[in-house]
Amino acid sequence: MDKEITIYDIAKEVGLSPTTVSRALSNHPRVKENTKEKILTAAKKMGYQSNIFASSLRKKRSKSIGVIIPKLNSPFQSSVMAGMEEIATQAGYNLVISQSTESLEKEITNATTMFNSRVDGLLVSKAGTTDDIEHFSPFFKKHIPVLFFDRVPENNNCTGVVINNTQAIYDATSHLIKEGCKRIVHVLGNLKINVYADRLKGYKYALLDHGIVFEEKNVINSDLGEESGDRIVEQILTLNPKPDGLLVSNDACAASCLMALKRKNIRIPEDIAIVGFNNDLISRMVEPNLSTINYPSYHMGEVAMKNLINHLDDEDHEILQKTNTITLRHELIIRGSSKR
């Protein structure tokens, strides 16, 4: 293993001080163009590689950003990640990623790891199951910005990037009602997660505003997995009278329900109209095509990352202090599964 080249070696080579070399390398304005060039040339020639550890140690910044998400292998979340990566790379930040696999315990471990690796900022989509954000307090104490997206904790003063879930499901529900549905079933996930709690609200409000009585039995809790269609459909069919509308909180599960219903010879949308959520690929591939809510996942990643980086690069670090919630635009996309 050949020895590492340091700024001292370069300094010796060009007959200048290490300081000047350091300054030249980081493009400091008070270095003569001439010498800057000389140094850069020497650096390249000697195969110099800046030592980021030493630099970080001195500057107390890692130029890296941590992300904690529930699951990497989800169309929605991986798309958010892609947006984040784009922006981070562009801005010269490294992305350190870990997943909580929906476990609070793992989320806590991940947070600790991120803290110990001294990320400059943290982006989190909560594992759900609780609003507890105590495990991020080391960040808060050290004023390391933490920004939540999609799944945000309630009742706190962290910044969050979200869509208006209440309004989205309100729109979807209203649409179904307009299409003539009277008995709409809503399938959603863990109500401890803001996303689903908000959607339930939107569902209730829409019913209310259209003079339909809300009934507890029309709300089904599910893991929203791609395999759960049969189970959900079975449960739906015990209802009497049978429902004529179905609102499922993600497209994979909605598609699974759609397939299960078709296997039971129930016609979509005539017998039951369906609306999903996310606008994943799958929504365009099932038959009939699934109506859904377009969730701007990639864009959400971009926006979250942009705001975090702006905050970090801002001299006064006050951008996020002043921002509570950033709400992105969603959109109801009506397709064959609900248009009758």
Q: Does 18 bind DNA (CB under 7 A)?
A: yes
| Range 141-180, binding DNA (CB under 7 A) | none
Segment interacting with DNA, rule: CB under 7 A, options 47-55, 163-171, 228-236, 304-312: 47-55
CB atoms within 10 A of CB 155: 6
| Range 117-156, binding a copy of itself (CB under 8 A) | 117-118, 138, 142-143
Segment interacting with DNA, rule: CB under 7 A, options 53-61, 86-94, 253-261, 274-282: 53-61
| Alpha helices for 29-145 (secondary structure H) | 33-46, 52-59, 75-90, 104-116, 137-141
In order, the DSSP letters of 52-66 are HHHHHHHHT---EEE
CB 229 within 8 A of CB 286: no
Q: Does 181 bind a copy of itself (CB under 8 A)?
A: no
**CA 321 – CA 133 distance, rounded (Å):** 17
Q: Does 4 bind DNA (CB under 7 A)?
A: yes
In the list a copy of itself, DNA, none, the entry touching 255 (Cβ below 5 to 8 angstroms by class) is a copy of itself
Q: Does 3 bind a copy of itself (CB under 8 A)?
A: no
Q: Which is nearer to a copy of itself, 198 or 251 (CB)?
A: 251
Amino acid at 335: R
CB of 142 to DNA, least distance (A): 12
What's the Cα-to-Cα distance from 206 to each of 160, 200, 201, 340, rounded to whole Å? 25, 10, 8, 20
CB of 82 to a copy of itself, least distance (A): 4
- Six-digit token string for 114: 């991120």
Segment interacting with DNA, rule: CB under 7 A, options 18-26, 134-142, 206-214, 215-223: 18-26
273-275: strand order across its sheet: 219-221, 184-188, 245-248, 273-275
Residue 239: name the closest of 304, 185, 202 by CA.
185
What are the residues facing 293 on neighbouring strands?
A: 332
Q: Which residues, including other chains, have CB under 8 Å from residue 242's CB and lie 6 or more apart?
A: 183, 236, 271, 272
Q: Which residues, including other chains, have CB under 8 Å from residue 138's CB and lie 6 or more apart?
A: 111, 112, 115
Length of the chain in terms of residues written: 340
Q: Which is nearer to DNA, 5 or 169 (CB)?
A: 5
CB of 314 to DNA, least distance (A): 17
Of 16, 236, 275, 282, the one binding a copy of itself by CB under 8 A: 282
CB of 153 to DNA, least distance (A): 31
Of 12, 37, 41, 57, the one binding DNA by CB under 7 A: 57
Segment interacting with a copy of itself, rule: CB under 8 A, options 9-17, 115-123, 194-202, 207-215: 115-123
CB 81 within 8 A of CB 67: yes
| Range 31-50, binding a copy of itself (CB under 8 A) | 49-50
Residue 187: name the closest of 224, 226, 240, 237 by CA.
224
**CA 115 – CA 336 distance, rounded (Å):** 48
Q: Does 20 bind DNA (CB under 7 A)?
A: yes
DSSP symbol at 216: G
Angle at 272 between CA 187 and CA 195, to 5 degrees: 20
Q: Does 337 bind DNA (CB under 7 A)?
A: no
Q: Does 95 bind a copy of itself (CB under 8 A)?
A: yes
Of 40, 46, 55, 288, the one binding DNA by CB under 7 A: 55
Binding site for a copy of itself (CB under 8 A): 1, 49-54, 56-57, 60, 62-64, 71-75, 77-79, 81-82, 85-86, 89, 94-99, 109-110, 113, 115-118, 138, 142-143, 226, 252, 255-256, 259, 262, 281-282, 284-287, 298
Residues at the interface with DNA (CB under 7 A): 4, 6-8, 15-20, 22-23, 25-26, 29-32, 34-35, 48, 50-51, 54-55, 57-59
